[in-house]
Amino acid sequence: MADYDVIICGAGSGGGFLAGEIAPFGSVLILDAGPHVKGAPNPGFGSPDRRKFATQINMGTYGPDGVNAINRGGAFFAYPLYTDDSNPASFAVLREARVVGGGSFVNVGAWLRPLAVDFVDFAKETGVVGWTKQDLEPHFQKAERILFVHRDHRDQWQRASVLYEKTALALGIPVFETASNRHRCIFCGHRVDAGMPCKYDALMSTAITQIPKALDNGAQLVDNATVVRVEISNNKATGVTYIKDGQTVTANARKLVVVSAGAIGTPLVLRNSGVHLINNNVGKFLRAHPGITMDAFIPGVQWNSDRGYQWNCHHYVMDDAGKPMDALVHASTAFPVTPWLAANVGTFGKPYKDLMRLYPFRIGVFVFHLKPGFTGKVMGSVEAPFVRYPILGPNGDVDPKMLRDLTASIRQVGRIFQEMGAIAVLPGPNVADQLLINDLALRLPIAGVFHDQGTCRAGADRKTSVVDSNCMSHDIANLMCCDASVIPKDISCNSNSMVMAVASKCSNFVITQILGRQLKEEEEPANV
């Protein structure tokens, strides 16, 4: 049985980032349920193995198996997501990355930080300390240096994004440039949705940045390893049991076990380990961002839609008083994903590119609802997960706050599209309120959710949280959670930047307080 100072379960945005920072200071074992797609990082070109991997994803080689979309598949988890309390037997599929690099390996490359109000809400919600905007600023900057975060030059924007920004500003809607962690992107347009890896290594995931750094500093990585449980003795984490190639293996951790399996996977591992019997907050307070696409047909100009899913700018939907609502609009999504599109050609590769070229006048946006008025729960086990997130109530009604914000989003984005010259917009922004409500009630439960967070949240009191302000378990010594599960309350942005800032904060704690080493002197702050 091998011994390590630290065992990290999950090599995504949280665990992968943490591994790269702490590996120079102690012995580290990294476990991940998915494959490690190897090859020296080569942004703009890609390694042969990653190019092949991306192509196989599109061909379905790594799609989840099993007719019930359970927690299986070579490169993706597919959790059953119950969103409709009026029809408890129905479920959607919550797809999560199952690959070294995790969500950072398949996200869209948009880099947004939380709003100032989010940091204030963290303390209000759980009493967490050391999580203010000022506290986390150096950690955001560190992540942004490592991930080459930048803003694209305007000549690299899609034409649709340029006109969308100009039109929205003319209507009095504040629009912001969206930073990106794509490095040497060739804007190939071969991927449309978050969930498809970049075959040219342009997406600066932890698989391209932090994992190679960890391995260069002596960390050991075991891929395709399903963590069964954290070994706990006398209320102290002592190791991890995992399954690799059908064999059950236990590894010992001398100083720390880190569970970084995401907001769904982490509570499942803790439930397998019995931690939920000690702290009933494990798996509770699931928050997420339900999303919808909107698209428009605007004739007269070819909009460069075949350049792909760029998300050059974003804005928050404004109410009648000119104040931002809890809805975030990303423009442009180029050629938005619809069930028809996915069923006919998929969302990746040459068939998708050919279809985009048939419709050069089609553009779109993606809308996230940021702070629904309810929370969900993760239940079950690693082997049989169960995720409840009640978008629709017992009477089939959409959460009122979500309904208000998304209805306003459709009308406001529709107005922007129409000012741009759209001849058709979907969903229709000018229909009667009840028709729009009915449309959303149909779309939202099957669209799934994004940026799940908060299921093992950090806080000052174990009565309302699972881990403390340093992300250490309130109840089990030598146990840390480090991923989106620890976020205390909803954030007003994509979760990637927040998770990496938390991982940077955790790395400082692990290096100084767990491994007993001194931090290296920081570089100059990033200019982002």
DSSP string, 15-61: HHHHHHHHGGGS-EEEE-SS----S---TTT--HHHHHHHHHHHTTT
Query: What does the alpha-carbon distance between residue 82 and residue 66 come to, in Å, rounded to a whole number?
Result: 18
Which residues contact residue 378 at a Cβ distance below 8 angstroms, ignoring those fewer than 6 apart? 263, 264, 267, 268, 271, 283, 286, 385, 386, 387, 455
**Using the 8-state DSSP alphabet, how is residue 457 labeled?**
-
Q: Are 181 and 206 within 8 A, CB to CB?
A: no
Q: Are 281 and 457 within 8 A, CB to CB?
A: yes
Q: What angle do CA 358, 359, 364 make, to 5 degrees?
A: 145
Q: What is the torsion angle, in degrees rounded to the nearest 10, for the CA atoms of residue 100, residue 147, residue 306 and residue 369?
A: 80
Digitized pLDDT (tens) for each residue of the chain, 528 residues in all: 689 999 999 999 999 999 999 999 999 999 999 999 999 999 999 999 998 888 766 555 444 444 344 434 567 888 899 999 999 888 888 888 899 999 999 888 899 999 999 999 999 999 999 999 999 999 999 999 999 999 988 888 888 999 999 999 999 999 999 999 999 998 877 665 556 788 899 999 999 999 999 999 999 999 999 999 999 999 999 999 999 999 999 999 999 999 999 999 999 999 999 999 999 999 999 999 998 889 899 998 888 777 767 889 999 999 988 889 999 999 987 655 555 565 566 555 667 667 777 778 888 899 999 999 999 999 999 999 999 999 999 999 999 999 999 999 999 999 999 999 999 999 999 999 899 999 998 888 877 789 999 999 999 999 999 999 999 999 999 999 999 999 999 999 999 999 999 999 999 999 999 999 998 765 433 433
The token pair at 276 is 């939920």
Which residues contact residue 104 at a Cβ distance below 8 angstroms, ignoring those fewer than 6 apart? 12, 13, 16, 203, 204, 205, 206, 207, 496, 500
Which residues contact residue 430 at a Cβ distance below 8 angstroms, ignoring those fewer than 6 apart? 411, 414
Give me Rg for the CA atoms of the chain: 22
DSSP 401-433: HHHHHHHHHHHHHHHHHHHHT-SEEES-TTS-H
